[in-house]
Amino acid sequence: MTIGAAARRWITLGLNLVQKILGEHLVAGELKPGAEIAIRIDQTLTQDATGTMAYLQFEAMGIPRVRTECSVSYVDHNTLQTGFENADDHLFLQDAAARFGVWFSRPGNGICHQVHLERFAVPGRTLLGSDSHTPTCGGLGMIAMGAGGLDVACAMAGEPYALTMPAVVRVHLTGELGPWVSAKDVILELLRRETVRGGVGRIYEYDGPGVATLSVPERATITNMGAELGATTSVFPSDDRTREFLAFQKRAEAYRAIEADHDAMYDDRIDIDLSALEPLVACPHSPDAVQSIRELEGTRVVQALVGSCTNSSYRDMATVALMLRGRKVHPNLSAGVSPGSRQVFEMMARDGYLADLISAGVRILESACGPCIGMGQAPPSGGVSVRSFNRNFPGRSGTRDAQVYLASPEVCAAAMVCGELVHPERLGERPSVAVPASAIVDDGLIIPPPADGTSVAIRRGPNIKPLPAFEPIPDCLTLRVALKVADNITTDHISPAGSRFLPLRSNIPAISEYVFSPVDPEFASRCKEWGGGLILGGSNYGQGSSREHAALGPRYLGIRVVVAKSFARIHWSNLVNFGILPLVVEASTYDALEQGDEVEVCGVHSAVRSGGSVTLRLARTGAEFEARHHLTPAQAQILLAGGRLNAARGASGA
Ligand code: MIC
Ligand code: SF4
């Protein structure tokens, strides 16, 4: 194992897995929690809802071809084609991939994280993806992180990815999962203990004897939902189970063993006895509102869905099919499955599981994100839906007052039969799934890039609008508080998901009209009337997705500053990337400011340059408040330039 020189300088003790992988990729900084580091990115992934922006940004950089080992563009989110917009985006993405040297996974091939795990993930490598669930591939021993599209575009351009070195938390697993307990319950247990803020500034590294009892897809369920903890990423060692999975995928040559040293040091430790877990359920409207299935038994359910990037493996789907074999879906409930990849889908068909599901009355959806992102299957008004997915934020399902619960595929399947939340033991013995020795491998829907893409013309539908240009932030601003919101505001609140809004992802002026529409439909018109303003947020502002539209939209409406008690990692970077100043304030400042207040923010340039704090002056009372910005020197330059693209153009003299 070779460790980067910068890492070697200070590490004297054994290394944990995170230090090993980051050490091999370290370009600048020291691997000390809280220090600024920059790492080399080996692989990138984009998906269609964030990808159009990422490739427009890559194009604007004027670089002919990606400089990564492997970059893949997936079409999995915007697959419900109710108008021309999504189909046009797919063509744009296919051409952009060919032009810039990117692999293209066509619509129908599956969800980016599941397909990447199956076909591209390599232990010990780094992956940056324009989707918050990119850490899924941590299940295969990668350091895989979510980021905004512009950060991914920069990684495609060969730029190192800068981040604050997180604390590394050892999650020590012992025991073995009981018959009806699944990997989903491991991560729900962590969410119950740690909450949706617990992982901010942390990487969860799994070890202990329990690790060997979990297959790679089970590990991937756990690392996938590490995103819900707010973690930078989560990672499992690469061991015999990893070798087994890569052999199953007919990619045995990609295997490399990598694990922590026996005397590795960690910043914190959590212990989980897998044998002590029971089926858990996250209640509306947050993934950390976790209760035991026993407390919820008898809750009537009108919809049950299995799929998404969290629970889409062959074993997940086969388990559901076997639980439904010879049974029928409850008459008061609508059941659906959306297999995570075409590989899983085809194997289900060939092994007869699809027939079990069809015969039971399950609705078979395409292999895509689908209902997880509100692309179809919205539940009825006030209806209870139980899903094997990872997010249950209000309105995300497409029905504002729906009550969405998150649970394992086993709990979802039991609900499909019983029409209510029940412990799956109600259906008898857990069926045993025989996973074949090797998968059906057919990469026919993955188009490799041509050796030279320079002559490829990129088709652009009328909904694909050029990137808006943003001017740098002034030194002194007088802004009105355009909106005051509570703690844990998600990007789904800021730039809503769903079939109505997602087709506008390539059109910033159009999508900006819906900024904060689930919270306050007047927000966009108020910003226009007031000439922009500032947003006042609580703790963990911007949790959830990586969508940079939650920064681009507000910036387009003239928002120049977001003041909050604390920020979620990806959203914070996205704000900076588009020239919005994120400021952290004490709870008392948050309490003192009200929507509509006029606030003077002066001396921005010197404070941003020097790392000092900014003073907020409340016009109503004349009171002054201190606000901190936490920008690194590189981010300060980006902010002062009016965003990362401006900064890159300035640096290249363009
Ligand atoms: C999500 O699960 O919220 C999404 C849709 O996959 C997002 C990306 C997006 O908004 O396009 C994410 O997780 O980053
Ligand atoms: Fe797709 Fe849902 Fe996964 Fe996001 S969380 S990538 S919408 S399946």
Query: For residue 651, what pLDDT is reported?
Result: 62
Question: In which band, very low, low, confident or very high, does the pLDDT at 635 lie, cut at 50, 70 and 90?
Answer: very high
Identical fold between 5-276 and 280-427: yes
State the catalytic residue, choosing from 391, 560, 571, 644.
391
Q: How far apart are CA 78 and CA 369, in angstroms?
A: 8
Res 284 pLDDT > 60: yes
CA 282 vs CA 20, 51, 123, 231, 276: distances in Å: 34, 30, 31, 18, 18
When pLDDT is averaged across residues 122-145 and rounded to a whole number, the result is: 98
Give the residue from 596, 517, 590, 520 showing the smallest Cα distance to 549: 517
- CATH class of this structure's domain 280-427: alpha beta
State the catalytic residue, choosing from 25, 241, 547, 555.
547
Structure tokens at 525: 């018109």
Q: Which atom of ligand 1 is nearest to the CA of 227?
A: 13
pLDDT more than 70, % of the chain = 98
Active site residue 547: yes
- The reply to whether ligand 2 has any atom less than 6 angstroms from the CB of 49 is no
Res 653 pLDDT > 50: no
Q: How far apart are CA 293 and CA 301, in angstroms?
A: 13
Active site residue 131: yes
SS3 335: strand
Cα 648 to ligand 2 centroid, rounded to whole Å: 31
What is the DSSP pairing of strand 280-282 with strand 161-164?
unpaired
Active site residue 391: yes
When pLDDT is averaged across residues 562-584 and rounded to a whole number, the result is: 98
Query: For residue 12, what pLDDT is reported?
Result: 57
- The reply to whether ligand 2 has any atom less than 6 angstroms from the CB of 390 is yes
Query: For residue 7, what pLDDT is reported?
Result: 52
Q: Would you list the DSSP string of 584-607? A: E--HHHHHH--TT-EEEEE-HHHH
Task: Tell the CATH superfamily of the 477-652 domain.
Answer: Aconitase, domain 4 (3.20.19.10)
Question: In which band, very low, low, confident or very high, does the pLDDT at 4 lie, cut at 50, 70 and 90?
Answer: low
Q: Which atom of ligand 2 is nearest to the CA of 373?
A: 7
Residue 601 half-sphere exposure, CB side, CA atoms within 13 Å?
A: 28
Maximum CA extent, the chain? 72
Q: How far apart are CA 302 and CA 642, in angstroms?
A: 48
Active site residue 273: no
- CA angle (637 as vertex; 633, 639 as ends), nearest 5: 110
Query: For residue 292, what pLDDT is reported?
Result: 98
Query: For residue 612, what pLDDT is reported?
Result: 82
When pLDDT is averaged across residues 152-174 and rounded to a whole number, the result is: 98
- The reply to whether ligand 2 has any atom less than 6 angstroms from the CB of 75 is no
Query: For residue 652, what pLDDT is reported?
Result: 54
Query: Using CA positions, which residue lies closest to atom 1 of ligand 2?
Result: 369
Mean pLDDT, the chain, rounded, equals: 96
Domain boundaries of the chain, sorted by first residue: 5-276, 280-427, 477-652
Res 5 pLDDT > 60: no
pLDDT digits (tens, 9 = 90+) for 339-391: 999 999 999 999 999 999 999 999 999 999 999 999 999 999 999 999 999 99
What is the DSSP pairing of strand 268-273 with strand 167-174?
parallel
Helix boundaries (H) for 101-146: 112-119
pLDDT digits (tens, 9 = 90+) for 453-506: 999 999 999 999 999 999 999 999 999 999 999 999 999 999 999 999 999 999
When pLDDT is averaged across residues 516-535 and rounded to a whole number, the result is: 98
CATH code of the region 5-276: 3.30.499.10
Res 104 pLDDT > 70: yes
Nearest ligand, measured from the Cα of 367 = 2
Active site residue 267: no
Active site residue 499: no
State the catalytic residue, choosing from 88, 89, 95, 131.
131
Give the residue from 314, 360, 310, 33 showing the smallest Cα distance to 187: 310
When pLDDT is averaged across residues 129-138 and rounded to a whole number, the result is: 98
Cα 51 to ligand 2 centroid, rounded to whole Å: 14
Res 131 pLDDT > 70: yes
